[in-house]
Amino acid sequence: MQKRILGKNGLEVSAIGLGCMGLSFAYGPAMDRGEAIQLIRAAVERGVTLFDTAECYGPFVNEQLVGEALAPVRDQVVIATKFGFRNGDTRLGPDSRPENIRAVADASLKRLKTDRIDLFYQHRVDRTVPIEDVAGTVKALIAAGKVKHFGMSEASAETIRRAHAVQPVTAVQSEYSLWWREPETKIFPTLEALGVGFVPFSPLGRGFLTGAIDEKTQFGAGDFRSSAPRFAPSALKANLALVDLLGQIAAKKGATKAQLALAWLLAQKPWIAPIPGTTKLHRLEENLAAAAVTLTAEDLGQIDAALARIRVEGDRYPAASQAMVDR
């Protein structure tokens, strides 16, 4: 597995990481615990070193799962987790008060069975707490040895700059993929200027870019996509044009749709490390093989030209969730 560096402090991670949220949260029933642990360890065996979790995934059970799975190889991997919701519950809204950040750090350390958090993200910007106070609190946790690196998620360029002035930000995590490219213009210039890495979540469009979803797909109870406007039947039908295009280009490269989508991300910047999630070993192996897919400047030009002709329909989140994104 190729390696990449996030941030100026030299945090080295695998070019493709593993987003662990879907193992126990957001996409329906939780995966069998034993099978989930096996999947995480299979990722380690295949060279993955970046593992992403959060207190609110479950809540809490995802961190416990990741901690147990990675305990035997703790010094070989990078564990990223997040703070920023009241009582670890996304439904209760943001909470980045310094006392809560400190409490979450201590609780996460216990659940993760570790003495340090490699990358500690603010999960969502809390407009009631100055970002300088948030960054200062994480800075103190770094000084105490409980945290190694500071990260932010779904933060605007201005907020990132203000935080970075207090405590250097190592990585920003936001949605980015062939069907959501806003970060390119909104935050990439700031990340480049400051030397901050970028970790795209949902790099496969929450499964849509793999070609496994169409307008007839039914999402079960507990699946976030059932309430996401972008996954409404009418939007899915319109957005299939993107998947069809992806399939045509992937076929020419001898790759799958998912591999092309991930290879495209890797080709955008050397400081990007996507974290696709999966519950299946064969999908994990398919995703990781994307690191070996090379896209030429001509390939990238053809993809951009084709994408320019396609309009993606539907918002990323329901209104309440969209309101928590710092724009």
What residues act catalytically?
57
The residue type of 86 is R
What does the alpha-carbon distance between residue 230 and residue 175 come to, in Å, rounded to a whole number? 14
Tokens of 41: 């360890």
CA 198 to chain centre: 9
Antiparallel, parallel or unpaired: β 197-201 and 11-14: unpaired
Which residues, 6 or more positions from 2, have their beta carbon under 8 angstroms from its beta carbon?
A: 14, 15, 291
What does the alpha-carbon distance between residue 199 and residue 277 come to, in Å, rounded to a whole number? 13
Which residues, 6 or more positions from 294, have their beta carbon under 8 angstroms from its beta carbon?
A: 263
Q: Which of 195, 242, 258, 298 is nearest to 16 (CA)?
A: 258
Q: Which of 84, 29, 31 is nearest to 56 (CA)?
A: 84
The three-state secondary structure class of 211 is coil
Stated as kind and residue range, the H or E segment containing 43 is helix 33-45
